[in-house]
Amino acid sequence: MLDFSMTPGAFGFEAWQSRWSILSGVGVTVASSGLTIVIATVLGILFGIALSYGWWWLRLAIRLYVDVMRGIPVLVLILFTYYGLALFGINVPAFWAGVIALSGFATAHIAETLRGAVQSVPQGQMEAGKAIGLRFAQRLRYVILPQAVRRMLPPWVNTCLEIVKGTTLLSVIGVVELLLASQQIMARNYLIVDFYLLATLLYLIINFAIAQIGGVLERRFSYLRY
């Protein structure tokens, strides 16, 4: 049972003593997750559109990228980005190596999600937009994407949650995110179960916030009817 007293050696005392380390770990986790989500969402939307409407050679190149990235474990991508690129003289800081690796992985998943969402919109929607004189970019912006985005939001939220959990792997390259910060604290006070429970609670709070944002976005697009 957790001991919240402020006597030395108790969980409450040790948690208070380690509060800045914990907050720093939370900050790194939130920053790496947030940057990854933004980068992967922007690139994933662009790649998804290209998969649906791009030139054949562009679709082929992005399809190859998506299939390869989805088939490689995230840990391998992180290790390659940090250690592998250094073999070619490209030295990337550990934090940014993790963000790049996670973004590359998540981009592939979001691109495939958007492609499926775009292709699930009835073809008649595109033809109707063309019939009233909308150009392709206008049809895409005002007709197709609003409907596709609403359909892709649930899997997009799942991908965002996976990104947060994926940040725990950044500890293998020395990024002191929430998990590694917690492990460093446990190495000093040996309150292993207590601080793992605290880390679990903090991860749940972060993911709950993301799920709530996803819910707000879903309600925002709920006015669309098919």
DSSP string, 12-64: HHHHHHTHHHHHHHHHHHHHHHHHHHHHHHHHHHHHHHHHHHS-HHHHHHHHH
Its pTM stands at 0.90
Q: How many CB atoms lie within 10 A of CB 65?
A: 16
With a CB cutoff of 8 Å and minimum separation 6, the contacts of 140 are 49, 53
With a CB cutoff of 8 Å and minimum separation 6, the contacts of 133 are none
> Which pLDDT score, from 0 to 100, does residue 212 have?
92
Query: Quick one: pLDDT band at residue 3, thresholds 50, 70, 90?
Result: low
> Which pLDDT score, from 0 to 100, does residue 226 have?
46
- Give the whole-angstrom CA distance, residue 96 versus residue 92: 6
Place of tokens 């992967």: 40
Residue of 205 and 134 predicted with greater confidence: 205
Residue 142 has pLDDT above 60, yes or no: yes
> Which pLDDT score, from 0 to 100, does residue 6 have?
63
Mean of pLDDT values over 31-58: 94
Helix ranges (DSSP H) in the chain: 11-17, 19-53, 56-71, 74-79, 94-120, 123-131, 136-139, 145-166, 178-189, 192-220
For the chain, list the domains and their CATH numbers. 25-220 (1.10.3720.10)
Looking at mean pLDDT, say which of 88-92, 108-112, 135-139, 218-222 comes out highest: 108-112
